[in-house]
A and B are shown apart, each in its own frame.
Chain A
Amino acid sequence: MSKELTKKELRDISYRWSWHRSLAWNYEKMMSLGYLTTLTPFIEKNYKGDEEGRMRAYEVHSQFFNSCPNLSNIILGVDVAIESKLGKEGLDTVSAIKNSLMGPFAGIGDALVVITNVIFGSIAVAMATEGSVIGFLLWLVWNFTLMFYLRPLLLRVGYNRGIELVTTLSDKLKNLTNSASILGLMVVGGMIASIISVKFGLINIFGSEIDLQVQVFDRIMPKIGNAMIVALCYFLLGKKRITTVKLIWIVMILTLLLAFFGILISP
């Protein structure tokens, strides 16, 4: 039993995945229904005349699944390669592969997604604030490349190279994530100095007016306010009970308090 998939069929699986992956995302089985829905046409075709295999495939792909939307394409590629070669005999292997790869792929893939988006995003934001749309267009080009070229490519690579790829890949991907983190951290460092604005005001001490920004903080180092506020948020996020939303309220109230006393002013 061996039914080769055409290039177009493989690409369609990638597109179907992009559309269906998270439509019914839920706390119980996360992307499970998205994965199954992606593969329904493949299952129907692959198990034509093998009712038992077809039902087994539905069962196997109804299991819990959650991973990175992009790297999942590799899993899908390996999956359909095995099922099209071995039919229902391959389903146990497929199930094991899905379970063992989704975790690591989620970690690595999400990190890469965050880092690329931060790089494109910070350029887009910097230009948008000045009224230019070019940075955003650049980001759009990247998103379209990802959707119409890179994700289908990952699926095809998974299909062609199969399981042997997975072992060699996980080492490389880990290394890639580490290197990308270096790039990401540099960009974040730059963003802290550029996207945030903090300006200190004038205060009165014993009758003499002091310009906090010019006479105090600028003398220590430029953008010191930016570094201080990020350090504070970073520290607070390390506390167990602080959520993103709580932190937003804290920053808001703290800033308003400081503004009330004239310590912070409008940048």
Chain B
Amino acid sequence: MEVMDLNMFQILILTLLAGLSIIDQMTFTLGIGGVNGIIGVGILSGIVVGNPMLGLIVGGLFQSYALGLGMFGGTAIPNWAAAAIMVTGIAGSVDNISATAAIIGVPVAALTVQLDVFGRFANVVFQHRGDKYAKLGNAKQVILSNTLGLICWTVSRMLPVFVGLLAGPALITTIHGYMPEWLSIGLAAVSKILPAVGMAILLRYLPTKEYFHYLILGFVLVAWFAAPVLAVSLIGLVFAINAFRIGNQASSTAAVTTEGGSFDE
């Protein structure tokens, strides 16, 4: 398998990209990184290796694993953005995506979850520093303490990408040489099945039991009638607006009743 030969400069830029990606996630969330900017970070990585189209497709693949995941209240989730950077950096061509993703992307994304947890713990140090200066009313030092938190975020994301990019190509060439055919086929199958994990997490998060029938409708529209996503969204919007109106009428009646109740006090 021909993998990409990266020079040191490219490795460093891709590593910096991993840092930029998490900064965007924790701040402006403009879509160039983190959980919901994996396509963006893929395209940027693609530009670094001179193949933006490869980056777009890899970004799309890993974004499909991350759809619906969110970092709520600090839930640690697999580092799919890092995976997108590494796979775009190493794969070299579209044909190699699923093998590179399975050997480097998925394991690194899953194994480095602990680094995220570690970073969130390490930030306690800056929290204490900030608390100390808050007691003194020192605005400058409070701001600095908060900003120092950037270190924990970026280092915890840049480290795995840097190591992965250095060691990845050799590792992949070695493993791929010994890989039986069933394993290559299996890894390709895995890459297309993994989005199911994200969907299931999302279903656990949404009121699925209550609105199960809408899930069926969405499935049917695509499975039997091959409706595009946008069409499904728009039909969903019709139902949503309808439910919103009915809900509003119900709550305004309820509001009148409560107001009447509090008036008596």
Q: Is B207 an interface residue (CB 8 A)?
A: yes
Instruction: Looking at the assembled complex, report how far the CB atom of B176 sits from the nearest CB atom of chain A, in whole angstroms.
Output: 15
Instruction: Looking at the assembled complex, report how far the CB atom of A237 sits from the nearest CB atom of chain B, in whole angstroms.
Output: 5
Interface centre among B69, B121, B184, B186 (most CB of A within 10 A): B186
Q: Mark B178-205, 1 if CB is under 8 A from A, else 0.
A: 0000111111111011111101111111
Q: Is B236 an interface residue (CB 8 A)?
A: yes
Q: Mark A157-192, 1 if CB is under 8 A from B, else 0.
A: 000000000001001100110111111111111111
Contact with A178, one of B43, B60, B247 (Cβ below 8 angstroms): B247
Which bracket fits the contact residues of B?
35 or more
Interface centre among B26, B60, B134, B145 (most CB of A within 10 A): B60
Cβ contacts under 8 Å, A189 to chain B: 214-222, 232
Contact with A230, one of B196, B207, B236 (Cβ below 8 angstroms): B196
Cβ contacts under 8 Å, B199 to chain A: 188, 191-192, 195-196, 230, 233
Q: Cβ of A55 and Cβ of B137 under 8 Å apart?
A: yes
Q: Cβ of B244 and Cβ of A176 under 8 Å apart?
A: yes
Cβ contacts under 8 Å, B7 to chain A: none
Q: Is A206 an interface residue (CB 8 A)?
A: no
Cβ contacts under 8 Å, B220 to chain A: 189
Q: In the assembly, what is the distance between CA of A190 and CA of B31, in Å?
A: 23
With contact pairs A128-B63, A187-B229 given, residues A195 and B195 touching in the complex (Cβ less than 8 Å): yes
Q: Cβ of B186 and Cβ of A260 under 8 Å apart?
A: yes
Q: Is B40 an interface residue (CB 8 A)?
A: yes
- Identify the stretch in A1-9, A81-89, A91-99, A242-250 within 8 Å (CB) of chain B at 4 or more residues: A242-250
Contact with A186, one of B28, B37, B214 (Cβ below 8 angstroms): B214
Could you tell me how many residues of chain A have their Cβ less than 8 Å away from some Cβ of chain B?
A: 114
Instruction: Looking at the assembled complex, report how far the CB atom of A98 sits from the nearest CB atom of chain B, in whole angstroms.
Output: 15
Q: Cβ of A25 and Cβ of B204 under 8 Å apart?
A: no
Q: In the assembly, what is the distance between CA of A34 and CA of B146, in Å?
A: 6
A-contacting residues, B68-120, CB 8 Å: 68-70, 72-74, 77-78, 102, 106, 110, 113, 120
Instruction: Looking at the assembled complex, report how far the CB atom of A27 sits from the nearest CB atom of chain B, in whole angstroms.
Output: 6
Contact with B67, one of A21, A69, A125 (Cβ below 8 angstroms): A125
Instruction: Looking at the assembled complex, report how far the CB atom of A152 sits from the nearest CB atom of chain B, in whole angstroms.
Output: 13
Q: Is B167 an interface residue (CB 8 A)?
A: no
Instruction: Looking at the assembled complex, report how far the CB atom of B221 sits from the nearest CB atom of chain A, in whole angstroms.
Output: 6
Q: Cβ of B70 and Cβ of A113 under 8 Å apart?
A: yes
Q: Cβ of A267 and Cβ of B192 under 8 Å apart?
A: yes
Q: Cβ of A144 and Cβ of B195 under 8 Å apart?
A: no
Q: Is B163 an interface residue (CB 8 A)?
A: no
- Identify the stretch in A71-79, A116-124, A207-215 within 8 Å (CB) of chain B at 4 or more residues: A116-124
With contact pairs A59-B135, A249-B110 given, residues A255 and B189 touching in the complex (Cβ less than 8 Å): yes
With contact pairs A189-B215, A227-B219, A266-B185 given, residues A25 and B134 touching in the complex (Cβ less than 8 Å): no
With contact pairs A121-B36, A248-B106 given, residues A143 and B68 touching in the complex (Cβ less than 8 Å): no
Q: In the assembly, what is the distance between CA of A64 and CA of B106, in Å?
A: 35
Cβ contacts under 8 Å, B223 to chain A: 193, 221-223, 226
Contact with B121, one of A27, A113, A131, A233 (Cβ below 8 angstroms): A27
Cβ contacts under 8 Å, B68 to chain A: 114, 117-118, 121, 188
A-contacting residues, B224-238, CB 8 Å: 224, 227-230, 232-233, 235-237
Cβ contacts under 8 Å, B254 to chain A: 171
Q: In the assembly, what is the distance between CA of A32 and CA of B204, in Å?
A: 29
Q: Cβ of A171 and Cβ of B255 under 8 Å apart?
A: yes
Instruction: Looking at the assembled complex, report how far the CB atom of B71 sits from the nearest CB atom of chain A, in whole angstroms.
Output: 9
Q: In the assembly, what is the distance between CA of A239 and CA of B179, in Å?
A: 34
B-contacting residues, A107-141, CB 8 Å: 110-111, 113-115, 117-119, 121-129, 131, 133, 136, 139-140
B-contacting residues, A213-267, CB 8 Å: 221-223, 226-227, 229-230, 232-234, 236-238, 244-245, 247-249, 251-252, 255-256, 258-260, 262, 264-267
* 24 A-B pairs (CB sep. < 8 Å): A24-B127, A26-B149, A28-B127, A30-B74, A59-B134, A106-B73, A115-B206, A118-B67, A118-B202, A119-B233, A121-B67, A121-B68, A136-B40, A139-B39, A171-B251, A178-B207, A179-B240, A183-B237, A188-B68, A188-B218, A234-B200, A234-B203, A238-B204, A259-B183
* 8 nearest A-B pairs in the assembled complex, by CB-CB distance: A189-B218, A128-B60, A259-B186, A24-B149, A233-B200, A186-B236, A26-B123, A193-B222
